[in-house]
C-alpha cells in the first residue's frame, strides 16, 4: 500500500522533475540551442493539454454514463487538426504576422485593435476558465483522497482542501517562474512547453498502461474485451443524434477558442510546418488516449460497481493491487491537471494583463508611457498578479462549489462558453465585411444566452436563478425558460444551449456587421487577416509619425528591456546607415516596433502606447489603399491602364501628326514636282515646236531669225531655271558655305545695279540711291547679298508697270542693324498675294517674257536668312516695296 506520505513524496519529486526540465529547457534556449525544444513532436505534445484531468479521469466516467458519446470530445479536435489547411494554418500565419498574444488579442487586433472586444473575450475566457481550473484542482485532491483512503488514514475535508491549496500555490509558483520569465512572446516559454510535453508523455503512457493492463491483464485479450463490452451495461447506450453532432461541433469550436489551446497552438507555434505534422500526430494522440476508455470503463464497472466511475483509472489498478500502475496513473492525472492549469493560467493572465490591467494602467497615467516608470516591470507584475488571481479564483471556485457534482459538468459548459468566440473568429478570418460592432453584438448576445441557458442553471436553483425561474421562466414567462427558449421543449440542455447561443450569436454578429461601417483601422486589419496568404506585410497603424526616436527607445526599453530594445534600435539605425541607437522613426520601423511591443503587451495596448508618443493613431487614405489589397491592385491596374491608354493616345496623336506631315510633304512634293514639270516643259514645248518648224523647211529670213531667237531665249530660260533650282536646293539643305568677309553696303549695291543694267532688252529703270546712307560697313557674304539685290532690282525692272519706272533704294542703319528698302513706283503687289510671293513658284502674272520660274524671291529669302537677316514685303509704299534687314556689323562681329 502506498502511504499518503509516499504519495506526497512522489508528487514532490515529480514536481521537482518538472521544474528541472523547465529550467534546463530555459537554459538551453538561452544558449541559443533550441533544437528539439522546437520540434513538431514537442508542438504536438504541447497540444495535448487539450486532454485535461477531465479527459484522464472523466472520459471513463463519461463512458460509463453515456457510452461511446465521450469520443465526440476528441472527434471535433481531430477534424480541426486534419483540416489544418483551412483554419489552423491561417491562424498560425496571422498569429506570427501580427504577433498575436492570445485569442482576445486576435479578436481585438482583427477588429481594429479594439479594446472593448479584448475585454469581452477576456471576461469570457476568465469565466470559462475558472471553473475548469477548479475542476483540475478537484481532480488532484480527489486522487489524493483515493490514495489516502487506501492508506487507511482518512483525511478530512480540511486536508483535501489544503491539498488543493498547496497544488494551486505550487502551480502558481511554477507558472510565474516559467511563464513570466520573458515578456516577448516570440521568445516563447520554452520551459513551460517542454514541461507540458513531458507531462503529455506521462499521461499518455499512464492511460495506455492502465488500458493494456485491463485488456490483457484483466479481460484476457481484445476478443474477450469485446465480449465483455457487449455484455456490460455500456452496450445498452442509446445514441442521441442531437448530442452527438452538437458535441462534435462544440469540441471542435472549443479546441480553437479555448485560451490555453489557442496559446499552445498559435502563440507558442514556432514553425508553420509543425502544424502539418500535428495534423496527423495530434489526432493520433487523441486516438491513443481514447482507445482504452471503454475497456477501462467496462472493467471498472465489473470490478468496482457502485464506485465513482470518474476515478476508475486510479481505483481499478488499486483495487487489483497494482500499486506502481496506480502511482503511474496518479502521475498521469496529476500531469493532465497541472499542465492544463499552467497553460490556462499563462493564457488567461496574458489576456487579463494586456486587455484589462494595462489599458487601465495606461489611462490612469495620462502622462504617457515614456515619461516615467518601467513599463516592463509593470507588465510583468500585472501578469504575475493575474496568474495568481486566476489560480486563486480557481481555488475559490473549488472551495465554494464544494467539489460537488456540478463541477463534473463544467467541462461542456466551459466549452460552450468559449465557443461563443467562434463566430467572431471565423468571420474575422474569412469575411472582410465583419465589423467590430457585429463582433461585439454577437459576442455579447452569445455570452448572455450561454450564461442564461447553461452557465447559471448549472448552479442549480441556489445561485441567481431561482427554482421558479428554472421551471416557469422569469416572471412566469414560459417561452423564456432557460432550458426551453421560445417554447422549444424536450431538447437536451446542452444541445439547446449550444443551438440557441450560436444561432443568436451568429445572427447578431452577421446583422451587426451588415448594418455597421468599419473604421479605417478595422478595414485595414480585416484585409490583413482575411488575405494573410497574399501578403505578409503588416498594416501601418499610422503614417508619417513625427515620433521622436528617443522617446520610442525609452518606451521600448521599458517593455522589451534595455539590452533588447537597444539591439533593435541599433540594428535599425545601422540598416538606415546611421551610427548610434537612434534610427529615423520611419513608419516602417515604428510599425515593426509596435508589433514587437505587441508581442509583450498585446496589439491594442502597444498601439495605444506608441500612439501616445507618435501622437496619432489615424490611418491615412493611402495606407488604406495600400493595404486593402484588392482595391490597391485594382487602383494600380487601372492607373496602369490609364497610363497605357494615355500613352497610346499620345502615340496615336504623334502618328497622326507625323502622317499629316507626311501627307503635307507628299502634297508639297507633288505640287513641287508638277510645278517643276510645268516650268521645264513649257520652254521645251517652244523649243521643240520651233525647231521642228525650222527643220520642216524653207521660210523667210526674218521668220528664221525670229524662231531661232525664241529657241535661244527659251534655252536660256531653261538654264536659269535649273540654276535656280540647284541654288535653292543647296540653300534649303543648308549645304551652302558662306564666304563671310568685311564689305561695304554701297559697293555691294553698285555691283547689283551694274549687273541688272547689263541685262538686255528691258525697259529703262531709273534707280534713286543715297550714297551717303549706303556707306555702311557689313560683315557678310557680298556675292550672295549682291544676288539678293540683283533679284530685287530685276523684279522691279520686270514688273514695275509705271509709265516711267523708278526704283528707290533707301538705306537706314540703326542699333538693330541695317535695313535696305527697294520701293518702285508701280502698282505693287495685291494684298492677297503678299503672303505668298516668297513661296517657290509663286508667280503673280504671266511673265513668260523674261521667263522667271518664280523661284527668285524664295532664293532671296533663303540667302537673307542664312546671312542672319530677314526679307519682307512692305505694304502701302506706293509701289512694290521689299525690305531687306541685315544684322549690324558689330552684332555680326560679336557673334
Kindly identify the residues of this chain, within the stretch 545-604, that bind other proteins according to CB under 8 A: 575, 588, 591-592, 595
Record the cell numbers describing residue 63, joined without a space.
463512458
Annotate 607-644 with three-state secondary structure.
HHHHHHHHCCCCCCHHHHHHHCHHHHHHHHHHHHHHHH
- Closer Cβ to other proteins, 537 or 768, answer by number: 537
Which string of x and - marks every residue 629-668 that binds other proteins (by CB under 8 A)? -x--x-----------------------------------
Contacts (CB under 8 A) with other proteins, residues 173-192: 186
Say if residues 540 and 591 touch (Cβ distance below 8 Å). Answer: yes
- Among 308, 620, 682, 757, interactor with other proteins by CB under 8 A: 682
Which of 458, 413, 350 has the alpha carbon at shortest distance from 108? 350
Should residue 686 be labelled a site residue for other proteins when binding is judged by CB under 8 A? yes
- Closer Cβ to other proteins, 139 or 290, answer by number: 290
Contacts (CB under 8 A) with other proteins, residues 714-753: 714
Binding residue count for other proteins, defined by CB under 8 A? 82
- Among 848, 868, 870, 872, interactor with other proteins by CB under 8 A: 848
CB 886: neighbour CB atoms within 10 A?
27
Which of 602, 22, 53, 96 has the alpha carbon at shortest distance from 349? 602
Q: Which stretch binds other proteins (CB under 8 A): 284-292, 419-427, 474-482, 645-653?
A: 284-292
Q: How far apart are CA 648 and CA 827, in angstroms?
A: 55
Q: Which stretch binds other proteins (CB under 8 A): 143-151, 196-204, 577-585, 845-853?
A: 845-853
Which string of x and - marks every residue 47-86 that binds other proteins (by CB under 8 A)? --------------------xx--x---x--xxxxxxxxx
Q: For residue 885, what is the DSSP state?
A: E
- Among 534, 636, 647, 775, interactor with other proteins by CB under 8 A: 534
Which string of x and - marks every residue 488-527 that binds other proteins (by CB under 8 A)? ----------------------------------------
Please, which residues have CB within 8 angstroms of residue 502's CB and are 6 or more apart in sequence? 419, 420, 422, 423, 446
Contacts (CB under 8 A) with other proteins, residues 294-313: 294
Q: For residue 868, what is the DSSP state?
A: T
- Among 688, 712, 768, 831, interactor with other proteins by CB under 8 A: 688
Q: Which stretch binds other proteins (CB under 8 A): 101-109, 287-295, 325-333, 771-779?
A: 287-295
Contacts (CB under 8 A) with other proteins, residues 215-274: 226, 229-230, 234-241, 244-245, 248, 271-273
CB of 224 to other proteins, least distance (A): 12
CB 747: neighbour CB atoms within 10 A?
14
Q: Which stretch binds other proteins (CB under 8 A): 149-157, 210-218, 718-726, 846-854?
A: 846-854
Q: For residue 741, what is the DSSP state?
A: E
Q: How far apart are CA 215 and CA 222, in angstroms?
A: 6
Q: Which stretch binds other proteins (CB under 8 A): 133-141, 328-336, 549-557, 844-852?
A: 844-852
CB of 241 to other proteins, least distance (A): 4
Contacts (CB under 8 A) with other proteins, residues 361-390: none
- Closer Cβ to other proteins, 413 or 711, answer by number: 711
Secondary-structure percent of the chain, ordered helix, strand, coil, rounded to 5: 70, 5, 25
Which string of x and - marks every residue 99-138 that binds other proteins (by CB under 8 A)? x---------------------------------------
- Among 6, 166, 291, 303, interactor with other proteins by CB under 8 A: 291
Which string of x and - marks every residue 751-780 that binds other proteins (by CB under 8 A)? ------------------------------
What distances in angstroms separate CA 88 from CA 261, 419, 429, 560, 750, one per listed residue? 11, 16, 11, 29, 105
Say if residues 309 and 58 touch (Cβ distance below 8 Å). Answer: no
Dihedral (C-alpha) 160, 163, 165, 166: value to the nearest 10 degrees? 170
- Closer Cβ to other proteins, 656 or 849, answer by number: 849
Helices 293-303 & 58-66, crossing angle to 10 degrees?
Answer: 80
CB of 81 to other proteins, least distance (A): 8
Say if residues 279 and 267 touch (Cβ distance below 8 Å). Answer: no
Say if residues 97 and 594 touch (Cβ distance below 8 Å). Answer: no
CB of 149 to other proteins, least distance (A): 31
> Cα angle vertex 351, ends 585, 139, to 5°?
155
766-768: strand order across its sheet? 766-768, 806-813, 817-824, 881-887, 870-873
- Closer Cβ to other proteins, 74 or 398, answer by number: 74
- Closer Cβ to other proteins, 66 or 566, answer by number: 66
What distances in angstroms separate CA 272 from CA 93, 278, 426, 682, one per listed residue? 7, 10, 19, 95
CB of 395 to other proteins, least distance (A): 37
Should residue 700 be labelled a site residue for other proteins when binding is judged by CB under 8 A? no
CB of 530 to other proteins, least distance (A): 9
- Among 735, 846, 876, 895, interactor with other proteins by CB under 8 A: 846
With H, G, I as helix, E, B as strand and everything else as coil, classify residue 881.
Answer: strand
Q: For residue 555, what is the DSSP state?
A: H
Q: Which stretch binds other proteins (CB under 8 A): 129-137, 253-261, 281-289, 414-422?
A: 281-289
Say if residues 124 and 418 touch (Cβ distance below 8 Å). Answer: yes
Amino acid at each position: 500500500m502506498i502511504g499518503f506520505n509516499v504519495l506526497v513524496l512522489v508528487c514532490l519529486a515529480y514536481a521537482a522533475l518538472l521544474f528541472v526540465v523547465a529550467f534546463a529547457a530555459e537554459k538551453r534556449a538561452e544558449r541559443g540551442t533550441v533544437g528539439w525544444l522546437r520540434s513538431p513532436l514537442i508542438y504536438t505534445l504541447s497540444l495535448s493539454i487539450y486532454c485535461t484531468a477531465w479527459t484522464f479521469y472523466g472520459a471513463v466516467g463519461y463512458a460509463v454514463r453515456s457510452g461511446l458519446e465521450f469520443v465526440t470530445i476528441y472527434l471535433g479536435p481531430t477534424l480541426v487538426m486534419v483540416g489544418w489547411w483551412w483554419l489552423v494554418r491561417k491562424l498560425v500565419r496571422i498569429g506570427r504576422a501580427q504577433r498575436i498574444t492570445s485569442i482576445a488579442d486576435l479578436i481585438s487586433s482583427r477588429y481594429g485593435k479594439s479594446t472593448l472586444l479584448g475585454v469581452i473575450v477576456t471576461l469570457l475566457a476568465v469565466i470559462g476558465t475558472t471553473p475548469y481550473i477548479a475542476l483540475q484542482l478537484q481532480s488532484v485532491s480527489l486522487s489524493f483522497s483515493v490514495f489516502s483512503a487506501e492508506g487507511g488514514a482518512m483525511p478530512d475535508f480540511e486536508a483535501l482542501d489544503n491539498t488543493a491549496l498547496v497544488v494551486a500555490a505550487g502551480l502558481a509558483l511554477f507558472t510565474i517562474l516559467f511563464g513570466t520569465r520573458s515578456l516577448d512572446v516570440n521568445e516563447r516559454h520554452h520551459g513551460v512547453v517542454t514541461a507540458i510535453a513531458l507531462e503529455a508523455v506521462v499521461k499518455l503512457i499512464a492511460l495506455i498502461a492502465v488500458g493494456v493492463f485491463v485488456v490483457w491483464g484483466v479481460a484476457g485479450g481484445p476478443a474477450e474485451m469485446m465480449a465483455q463490452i457487449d455484455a456490460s451495461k455500456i452496450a445498452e447506450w442509446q445514441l442521441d443524434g442531437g448530442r452527438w453532432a452538437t458535441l462534435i461541433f462544440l469540441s471542435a469550436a472549443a479546441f480553437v477558442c479555448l485560451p490555453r489551446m489557442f496559446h499552445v497552438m498559435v502563440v507558442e507555434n514556432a514553425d508553420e510546418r509543425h502544424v502539418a505534422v500535428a495534423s496527423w500526430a495530434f489526432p493520433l494522440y487523441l486516438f491513443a488516449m481514447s482507445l482504452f476508455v471503454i475497456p477501462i470503463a467496462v472493467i471498472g464497472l465489473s470490478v468496482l460497481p457502485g464506485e465513482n466511475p470518474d476515478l476508475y483509472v486510479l481505483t481499478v489498478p488499486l483495487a487489483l493491487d497494482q500499486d506502481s500502475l496506480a502511482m503511474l496513473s496518479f502521475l498521469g492525472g496529476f500531469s493532465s491537471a497541472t499542465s492544463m492549469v499552467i497553460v490556462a493560467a499563462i493564457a488567461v493572465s496574458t489576456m487579463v494583463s494586456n486587455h484589462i490591467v494595462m489599458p487601465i494602467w495606461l489611462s490612469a497615467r495620462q502622462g504617457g508611457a515614456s515619461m516615467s516608470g518601467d513599463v516592463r516591470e509593470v507588465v510583468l507584475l500585472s501578469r504575475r498578479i493575474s496568474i495568481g488571481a486566476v489560480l486563486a479564483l480557481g481555488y475559490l471556485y473549488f472551495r465554494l462549489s464544494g467539489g460537488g457534482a456540478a463541477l463534473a459538468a463544467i467541462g461542456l459548459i466551459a466549452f460552450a462558453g468559449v465557443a461563443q468566440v467562434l463566430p467572431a473568429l471565423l468571420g474575422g478570418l474569412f469575411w472582410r465585411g465583419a465589423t467590430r460592432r457585429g463582433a461585439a453584438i454577437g459576442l455579447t448576445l452569445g455570452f448572455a444566452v450561454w450564461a442564461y441557458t447553461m452557465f447559471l442553471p448549472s448552479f442549480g436553483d441556489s445561485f441567481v436563478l431561482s427554482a421558479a425561474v428554472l421551471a416557469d421562466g422569469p416572471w412566469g414567462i414560459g417561452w423564456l425558460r432557460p432550458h426551453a427558449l421560445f417554447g422549444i421543449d424536450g431538447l437536451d440542455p446542452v444541445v439547446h444551449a449550444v443551438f440557441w447561443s450560436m444561432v443568436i450569436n451568429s445572427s447578431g454578429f452577421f446583422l451587426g456587421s451588415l448594418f455597421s461601417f468599419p473604421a479605417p483601422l478595422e478595414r485595414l486589419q480585416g484585409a490583413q487577416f482575411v488575405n494573410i496568404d497574399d501578403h505578409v506585410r503588416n498594416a501601418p497603424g499610422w503614417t508619417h509619425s513625427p515620433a521622436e526616436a528617443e522617446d520610442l527607445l525609452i518606451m521600448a526599453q521599458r517593455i522589451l528591456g534595455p539590452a533588447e530594445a537597444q539591439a533593435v534600435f541599433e540594428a535599425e539605425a545601422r540598416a538606415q546607415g546611421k551610427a548610434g541607437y537612434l534610427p529615423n522613426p520611419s513608419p516602417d520601423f515604428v510599425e515593426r516596433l509596435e508589433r514587437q511591443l505587441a508581442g509583450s503587451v498585446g496589439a491594442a495596448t502597444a498601439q495605444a502606447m506608441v500612439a501616445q508618443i507618435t501622437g496619432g493613431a489615424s490611418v491615412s487614405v493611402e495606407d488604406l489603399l495600400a493595404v486593402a489589397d484588392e482595391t490597391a491592385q485594382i487602383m494600380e491596374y487601372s492607373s496602369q491602364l490609364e497610363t497605357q491608354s494615355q500613352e497610346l493616345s499620345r502615340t496615336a496623336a504623334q502618328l497622326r501628326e507625323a502622317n499629316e506631315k507626311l501627307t503635307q510633304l507628299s502634297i508639297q512634293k507633288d505640287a513641287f514636282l508638277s510645278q517643276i514639270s510645268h516650268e521645264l516643259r513649257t520652254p521645251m514645248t517652244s523649243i521643240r515646236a520651233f525647231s521642228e518648224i525650222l527643220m520642216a523647211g524653207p521660210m523667210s529670213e526674218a521668220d528664221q531669225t525670229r524662231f531661232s531667237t525664241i529657241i535661244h531665249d527659251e534655252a536660256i530660260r531653261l538654264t536659269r531655271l535649273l540654276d535656280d533650282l540647284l541654288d535653292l536646293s543647296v540653300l534649303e539643305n543648308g549645304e551652302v558655305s558662306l564666304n563671310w568677309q568685311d564689305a561695304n553696303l554701297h559697293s555691294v549695291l553698285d555691283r547689283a545695279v551694274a549687273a541688272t543694267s547689263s541685262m538686255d532688252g528691258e525697259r529703262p529703270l531709273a534707280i534713286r540711291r543715297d550714297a551717303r546712307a549706303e556707306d555702311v560697313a557689313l560683315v557678310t557674304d557680298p556675292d550672295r547679298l549682291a544676288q539678293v539685290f540683283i533679284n530685287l532690282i530685276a523684279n522691279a525692272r520686270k514688273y514695275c508697270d509705271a509709265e516711267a519706272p523708278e526704283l528707290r533704294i533707301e538705306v537706314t542703319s540703326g542699333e538693330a542693324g541695317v535695313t535696305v528698302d527697294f520701293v518702285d513706283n508701280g502698282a505693287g503687289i495685291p494684298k492677297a498675294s503678299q503672303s505668298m510671293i516668297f513661296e517657290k513658284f509663286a508667280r503673280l502674272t504671266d511673265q513668260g517674257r523674261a521667263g522667271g520660274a518664280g523661284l527668285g524671291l524664295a532664293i532671296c529669302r533663303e540667302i537673307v536668312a542664312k546671312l542672319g537677316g530677314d526679307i519682307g514685303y512692305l505694304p502701302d509704299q506706293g509701289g512694290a516695296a521689299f525690305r531687306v534687314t541685315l544684322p549690324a556689323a558689330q552684332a555680326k562681329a560679336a557673334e
